[in-house]
Amino acid sequence: MEAPKFKKINLFQLVMLALGSLIGSGWLFGSWEATKIAGPAAIFSWIIGGLVIGSIAYDYVEIGAMFPESGGMSKYAQYSHGSLLGFIAAWANWVSLITLIPIEAVAAVQYMSTWPWSWAHWTHHFLSNGVITNSGLLIVFGFILVFTALNFWSVTILTRFTSLISVFKIGIPLLTIVMLTMSGFHPGNYGSNLHDFMPYGSAPIFTATSAAGIIFSFDAFQTVINMGGEIEHPKKNIGRGITISLLISGILYVILQSTFITAIPPKMIAATGWHGIVFNSPFADMAILLGIHWLSVLLYMDAFVSPFGTGVSFVANTARALFAMEGNRHVPHFLGKINLKYGIPRNAMVVNTVLSMVMVSVFRSWAVLATVLSTATLIAYLTGPVTAVSLRKMGSKLYRPIRLKHLPWIAPVSFVLASLATYWAMWPTTVEVIFIILLGLPFYFYYEWRNHFVSTKQAFKASGWMIGYLIFISIMSYIGSHQFNGQNWIPYPLDFVVIIIASLGFYWWGIRSYVVTEDFHKAQKLNQEAKERGEMEDGQ
């Protein structure tokens, strides 16, 4: 797959590919969902979400440069802590990815369902009370098939498509910001006191971070990591690609949130409150409300383009994640087969397409899909800071193209932030997602049985901290404060204090549980190849 005959992705294409993933349905729905939950204080939710994902991404920059391989996010934990932790991390990441493909299709169909033109009344049956109907589901399936088709023939087609589409995806949000600000700018919507700014208190600011799709909106930085084996000059471009794309999207999302808050007519807020503001196609509905009908047409178009760009990018990403899981030897071998002509894992792509259709058949709401996706992602990301620091202890002599100066303190901070964000998803979502992740364990045990349980005991010992953590966060979600749907046995904000202290304990346990296995030795060989490529590139 990494043979020279396949064209590598340069920095510009990489940033465009990442932005094509980052700017998806999150911008179309996230601002409205966050405002509905937290009022004007939702502006802080985007900043907090960016900090959570930014700190996690920081950990992965060092690892990604050390092991530039396709689907790398599904392998790193196995290098440092053996097969069980590797499986849990890979499975959680994969669950989030097969959720992301249908969520983009759902976003496009939801905007279609509110087309205001007389000839388009047939689309109004696609959505009922915020849930995709059976007829809408067929259209969602069609989108998913198109996403797959555009990935089926090569990386070159993918990068050309996403580079072109990303320009459009950035341009429409910018135009929306300008036009909505010019047509309806009400800075007084932020309020004149703390109560006006935070009408529902401070807890909803954190709830919105996970439940309004904000974590989901920033999640796509892993596109860069998972395509490591196909990136030109990975030593430089992995870190640059992540940093540039996250900064651009973060700034854009914060400005969009502020624009949404200030564009709402004050009379509407006075009549219903922030909770009562209901839009099916938020920015398009807002444009119509303000009399900018031509902008609403563009937004309805972008409701195809933005989800298309993200959906197309993540079909590739998800296929690479499943391909990488086969390399961990805990899913069927045929999923790791690479098409020799195009250099892509086509079998994995087809399986993901089918399972994405199953996922959206069960979860038919954009908001529910976004919460499930965010929680699964965060559980996978918990292994990142632990692996990064563990590799420094067990592989101090490994080649590190990028050695992060602040990793020793950012790693525990990012672990704590990921833990809090998992808790913010609220009971029972946290436990439901953990249950979905545990459903993958029969695959793990089946392949361990085939291997005569040679290293199962060692793998359990190295993963004890994660098993303990999942039990802890499940119990904490139930007994935590009522602001996060718990029983309020531990009230807010004391619940945050408990999670922070316990998370630091699990992090400490995790970085002392690393184990040297056959997978670590494979990682050493991969790292040596990265070193040789790096020296060759430096000499050019």
pLDDT at 144: 87
For residue range 392-411, what is the model confidence (pLDDT) as tens digits? Answer: 999 888 888 888 889 999 99
Does position 70 have pLDDT exceeding 70, yes or no?
Answer: no
The number of domains in the chain is 1
What pLDDT does residue 387 have?
Answer: 95
In this predicted structure, what is the pLDDT of residue 177? 94
pLDDT more than 90, % of the chain: 32
Radius of gyration over every alpha carbon of the chain, rounded to an integer in angstroms: 22
Tell me whether residue 181 is in a domain. Answer: yes
Q: What is the pLDDT of residues 271-327, one digit of tens each?
A: 888 988 888 888 888 999 888 989 988 888 877 776 666 666 667 666 666 666 666
Residue 466 lies in a domain: no
Tell me whether residue 319 is in a domain: yes
d(CA 97, CA 245): 19
Residue 112: inside a domain, yes or no? yes
Beta bridge partners of 70: 227
As a whole number, mean pLDDT of residues 105-122 equals: 84
pLDDT for position 237: 80
* Two tokens, residue 200: 């529902």
Gap between the Cα atoms of 52 and 43, Å rounded: 15
Residue in the block written with tokens 């009908």: 293
Domain that holds residue 128: 11-382
Q: How confident is the model at residue 2 (pLDDT cuts 50, 70, 90)?
A: very low
Judge whether 421 lies within some domain: no
The predicted structure's pLDDT at residue 432: 86
The answer to whether position 451 is within a domain reads no
Q: What is the pLDDT of residues 470-513, one digit of tens each?
A: 999 999 999 999 999 999 999 999 999 999 999 999 999 999 99
Answer whether residue 96 shows pLDDT above 70. Answer: yes
Q: How far apart are CA 102 and CA 307, in angstroms?
A: 10
Q: How far apart are CA 8 and CA 227, in angstroms?
A: 10
Percentage of the chain modeled with pLDDT above 70: 86
What integer pLDDT is reported at residue 138 of this predicted model?
A: 92
User: Of all helices (H) and strands (E), which one includes residue 81?
Assistant: helix 76-81
pTM: 0.86
pLDDT at 465 over 90: yes
List Cα–Cα distances, 407 to 56, 167, 410, in angstroms: 10, 34, 5
pLDDT value at residue 3: 42
Q: Report the DSSP beta bridge partners of residue 127.
A: 132
Q: What CATH number did the domain enclosing 347 receive?
A: 1.20.1740.10
Confidence bin at 464 (pLDDT 50/70/90) = very high
Kindly report which listed range (115-124, 229-238, 445-454) carries the lowest average pLDDT score.
229-238
CB atoms within 10 A of CB 184: 20
Higher pLDDT, 371 or 44: 44
Q: What is the mean pLDDT of residues 361-368?
A: 82
More confidently predicted of 433 and 225? 433
**Residue 23 falls within a domain, yes or no?**
yes
Phi, psi of 203 (to 5 degrees): -60, -40
Structure tokens at 489: 């046995």
Q: Is residue 346 part of a domain?
A: yes
Residue 158 predicted with pLDDT over 60: no
Q: Are 375 and 117 in contact (CB under 8 A)?
A: no
Q: Are 141 and 305 in contact (CB under 8 A)?
A: no
